[in-house]
Homo-oligomer: A and B are copies of this chain.
Amino acid sequence: MILLDLSDKRPLYIQITEQYKSLISLGILKPDEKLPSVRQLAIDMSINPNTIQKAYSELERDGYIYSLSGRGNYVANIEKILPSRKNEYFSNLDEILKKAPHYLLSKKEIIEHVKLFFNEPDDVS
C-alpha cells in the first residue's frame, strides 16, 4: 500500500508519512482503523523498523494517528487536522508563487499555466 521511490531525494520516513497523510486525509483509511505494526510494515517494505517507527512518531505528533504502546497504531479522528492541512498546502504554494517575479513571470502567466495544468495534467510517466 505504501510505495517507496528510492530515486526520490526525500528521506524514506517522509515519503511514508506523506503517503499516510494522504490516505488518511482522503478518508481511505478510516478513524480507529489499525495500521500495520512497525515490524510488519518494515518487513513488507524491506526497510529498517526504526525508520517506520520514526514515520509513525511523526504521524502521531502531527495528529494523524494515535499510538498505544503494546497495542498498535490507529488512525486518529482528523476532523481537527483537515483545515490546517489545507493551510499547509497553501503555504507551500505561496512559497513558490512568491518567487515568480524572480523568473520574470507575471500574475497572468502563472494563472494561465495553472489553468492549463488542471485541464491537461499530462502526468504520463
Chain A residues packing against B (C-beta within 8 Å): 6-7, 9, 11, 18, 21-22, 25-26, 32, 61, 66-71, 74, 82, 85-86, 88-94, 96-100, 102-105, 107, 110-111, 113-115, 117-118, 121, 123, 125
Contact = CB atoms under 8 A, between A and B. Distances in A.
Contacts of A70: 11
A92 to B, nearest CB: 6
Contacts of A98: 121, 123
Q: What DSSP secondary structure best describes chain A's contact surface?
A: helix
B117 A25 contact: no
A30 to B, nearest CB: 14
A66 B118 contact: no
Contacts of A100: 89
